[in-house]
Amino acid sequence: MYINVLGAGLAGCEAAWQIAERGVNVRLYEMKPHKKTPAHKSDNFCELICSNSLKASRLESAAGLLKHEMRRLGSLLVTTADGCSVPAGGALAVDRDIFSANVTNKIKNHPLIEVIECEITELPGDAITVIATGPLTSDALSEKINKLFGGELHFFDAAAPIVTAESIDMKNAFAASRYDRGETDAYINCPMNKEQYEAFYAELVSAERAPRHDVDVMNPKVYEGCMPVEILAQRGLDTLRFGPMKPVGLRDPGTGHRPWAVLQLRTENSEKSMYNLVGFQTNLKFSEQKRVFGMIPALKNAEYVRYGVMHRNTFIDSPKILNADFSVRDNADMFFAGQMTGVEGYMESAASGLIAGINAVRRLEGKKSVILPRETMIGALSDYIANSQTKDFQPMGANLGILPPLEKYIRDKRERAGKYANRALECLDKILGDIR
């Protein structure tokens, strides 16, 4: 007996691992290295595209709570990320190449996982199947899924540029974390005064974008969390100063004052030789990226390892299609996992793969599915994607707002988040034995 898993991204690898660790053989289908999406470059599994950050680490945060829950459930992805982390203040960020290579090595060397390198163009019916082909599912398979369910939705996702560390002008930059939290060299900050910022803003909103034939570039449907910076900027002169370029919690040692605006750069690898332009996802032409971003003093001579790109993302109308265990309502032998389900974010995708993998095994064994309590972050996300009352379904990442309210409202945000987290872990601990 075996279970199929389609796709070796974060959700697929997590699902395959959970299945194999429960003693069931896995056939993991992945079209790499023979075929790659426009956003993927590496032959390895679990390639991180938009960012190397897996968001906040502290328990008293939605993203941190999610990862704590995953650790207790035996997540492959979180434990691997912990082992190849790089400084990122209060966030868990990884060396992308090491992370991807380590996951690939663990998957390929598991005795119960068979990796089959080919493109899947038909939905298999020979066994229980977890579909985790991701937001960049190939056209052929997307068409089959669309025909099966109808109502395919799509939006567009953007990645930020990466520059070399040695090309950053440190005379016009400084290393610091906001409010001095975390490692002092977690971020390189590129300050701008009012005049510099307004000149940069004027060029950014008028810069030429890369042509796209599959989206209206003047009005693209883009998930808010990956909004191209040039589109975000069109909302108003100060939008960036209250968003990705907010200067709060930072003080420029050169002036002794808080800058007017700041672009933060976050290290991409353990050697700290590459830095990501935080929040600067973009669809500008490459030449325009170099010209416009070069107006930021610290980046005037920046060398780009990767320019920002925009690519297609797809997700199904999950509230009409999926149960909270990630199985298809009309076909209990078929599961979906990852961003295609409408969970948004790297760890959210992995978490959905974790639950789908566990439940695929339970389906095989004739056991009742595991649906985590809504008080847990994973349970709340599972409930969100399966809630038939949801109107105008859109992707959702981990956030405290989707958790059931506390019995007593707590005004202090951190204390309130701590109560949410403690309640979640208490609920999870009560059912861990059955899940394991």
Instruction: Say yes or no to pLDDT of 233 above 90.
Output: yes
- Same structural domain for residues 242 and 383? no
How confident is the model at residue 319, as a pLDDT?
93
- Same structural domain for residues 31 and 51? yes
Domain range for 9 is 2-155+314-435
- Same structural domain for residues 428 and 369? yes
Mean pLDDT score across all residues of the chain: 90
Instruction: Say yes or no to pLDDT of 393 above 70.
Output: yes
Query: Cβ-count burial of 117 within 10 angstroms (0-12 exposed, 13-18 middle, 19+ buried)?
Result: middle
Q: Which residue has the higher pLDDT, 213 or 210?
A: 210
Of the residues 248, 278, 308, the one at which a domain ends: 308
Q: Which residue has the higher pLDDT, 126 or 181?
A: 126
- Same structural domain for residues 17 and 140? yes
Angle at the Cα of 314 from the Cα atoms of 309 and 317, rounded to 5 degrees: 150
Give, in order, the Cα–Cα distances in Å from 91 to each of 88, 203, 275, 295: 5, 32, 15, 28
Angle at the Cα of 14 from the Cα atoms of 64 and 374, rounded to 5 degrees: 50
How confident is the model at residue 49, as a pLDDT?
82
- Same structural domain for residues 126 and 179? no
How confident is the model at residue 38, as a pLDDT?
65
Task: With CA atoms as reference, report the closest residue to 249 among 264, 267, 237, 233.
Answer: 264
Task: Tell me the CATH number at 369.
Answer: 3.50.50.60
Of the residues 255, 273, 308, the one at which a domain ends: 308
CA distance from start to end of the chain = 20
Of the residues 267, 289, 308, the one at which a domain ends: 308
- Do 12 and 338 contact (CB within 8 A), yes or no? yes
- Same structural domain for residues 272 and 354? no
Where is average pLDDT lowest: 111-125, 167-181, 184-198, 305-319?
305-319
The count of structural domains within the chain is: 2
Stated length of the chain: 436
pLDDT in tens, 239-276: 999 999 999 999 999 899 999 999 999 988 777 888 99
- Same structural domain for residues 285 and 356? no
Return the exposure string of 37-64: e unless at least 16 CB atoms fall within 10 Å of the residue's CB, then b: bebbebebbbbbbbbbbbbbbbbbbbbb
How confident is the model at residue 32, as a pLDDT?
87
pLDDT in tens, 352-374: 999 999 999 999 999 999 999 99
Q: How confident is the model at residue 216 (pLDDT cuts 50, 70, 90)?
A: very low
- Do 339 and 313 contact (CB within 8 A), yes or no? yes
Contacts for 213 with CB less than 8 Å, ≥ 6 apart: none
Q: What is the pTM of this model?
A: 0.80
Return the exposure string of 193-223: e unless at least 16 CB atoms fall within 10 Å of the residue's CB, then b: eeebbeebbeebbebebbeeeebeeeebebb
Q: How confident is the model at residue 219 (pLDDT cuts 50, 70, 90)?
A: very low
* Most confidently modeled range among 83-87, 223-227, 333-337, 388-392: 333-337
Instruction: Say yes or no to pLDDT of 101 above 60.
Output: yes
- Same structural domain for residues 332 and 200? no
- Same structural domain for residues 258 and 371? no
- Same structural domain for residues 139 and 179? no
How confident is the model at residue 341, as a pLDDT?
95
Between CA 75 and CA 17 the distance in angstroms is 8
- Same structural domain for residues 140 and 183? no
- Same structural domain for residues 75 and 168? no
How confident is the model at residue 152, as a pLDDT?
56
